[in-house]
Amino acid sequence: MPELPEVETIRRQLESIIGSTITSVEFTPSKVIRGEMSTILHEKILSIERYGKLLVIRLSNNRALTVHLKMTGRLSLLETGDEVPGYNHISFHLTPALSSDRRGSLFLVYCDMRKFGFVALHTKEEIISLPFIRNLGKEPLKDLTLQDFQNLLSRSNRAIKVLLLDQSKIAGIGNIYDCEALWLAGIRPQRRANSLQQTEIRKLFIAIEDVLREGIKRGGASDNTYRNLYGGKGEYQNFFKVYGRTGKPCPRCGTLIVRESLGGRGTFFCPHCQK
């Protein structure tokens, strides 16, 4: 599922359309498509940003598209003749950027089987104070410092696994990287955040950075439906230590991995070496 590394992979690939102009748009009206899309014509794509799991496509005229993939959202960059993936909701026809060597017509399409995600067009006044972005916590590998992390944990009595998933506290971590980071740090997901010792906090901070970096390096995890901008799969699912590995041996100690529900999520951990 798209978490920070998956969305970052797409963000980087989307940089190829910077400089393109939107020449037409087609969409099926639904709650997935938000804002007056018909007014987007002739806007130029200026930059591609990411805040946690949210993509922001900055446009000319002080406007922006925001895209959240949630569970099954998928952005694809297609050329004329390419097959459009199923569950398509909106297609943007683009002029090739001046820097691009592509010749045919370009289409940016959003598809979403479960319709949890969205593509929204924001006007000038809305961009500044999107509650979405305003409430987002700091981000690992970006502005989240060890000191921030220590303060955060010491002030929370919640299960560490649940705290790490709270986007208003830390942006970008989802269930997969949460489970993997806790395994790497040797910490049990059920532990109260404020019960972690200094050395454990440091270990976990590093582990979060490590799994996210590794996720980005592998192009994300395509455990299920995730595909990148060109329809390719990520490889990180081949490196899972605990996620989805119920009943299989822990790569560190051989004890069988167990699954428990925590905060309403499937939680995978080694009952022996995660303390």
8 is catalytic: no
Q: Which of 34, 138, 158, 203 binds DNA (CB under 7 A)?
A: 158
The full DSSP string for 82-135 is PPPPSSEEEEEEEPPPTT----S-EEEEEEESS---EEEEE-HHHHHT-HHHHT
Instruction: Indicate if 265 belongs to the active site.
Output: yes
Q: Which residues, other chains included, contact 142 with Cβ-Cβ below 8 Å and sequence gap of 6+?
A: none
Collapsing DSSP to helix, strand or coil, 68 comes out as strand
The answer to whether 164 contacts DNA (rule: CB under 7 A) is no
Of residues 175 and 274, the one with the C-beta less far from DNA = 175
The footprint of DNA on residues 253-272 (CB under 7 A) is 259, 263-266
Nearer residue to DNA within complex by CB, 232 or 266: 266
248 binds DNA, rule: CB under 7 A = no
The catalytically annotated residue of 11, 53, 169, 227 is: 53
State how far the alpha carbon of 60 is from the alpha carbons of 57, 189, 256, 257, in Å.
10, 45, 54, 50
Known catalytic residue: 248? no
Q: Can residue 167 be called a binding residue for DNA (CB under 7 A)?
A: yes
Specify the residue, 94 or 152, whose C-beta has the smaller distance to DNA.
152
Q: Taking CB under 7 A as the rule, which mask of x and - marks residues 34-73 in contact with DNA?
A: ------------------xxx-------------x-xx--
User: Which amino acid does the sequence have at 26?
Assistant: E
- Whole-number Å distance between alpha carbons of 140 and 214: 13
Q: How far apart (Å, rounded) are the C-alpha atoms in residues 63 and 60?
A: 6
CA pseudo-torsion sign 140, 146, 148, 153: positive
Binding-site member from 22, 162, 229, 250 for DNA (CB under 7 A): 162
Tokens 């699954």 -> residue:
259
Count of residues near DNA by CB under 7 A: 34
Q: Looking at the annotation, which residues are catalytic? A: 2-3, 53, 265
- Footprint on this chain of DNA (rule: CB under 7 A): 1-3, 31, 52-54, 68, 70-71, 113-116, 131-132, 155-159, 162, 165, 167, 174-176, 178, 244, 259, 263-266
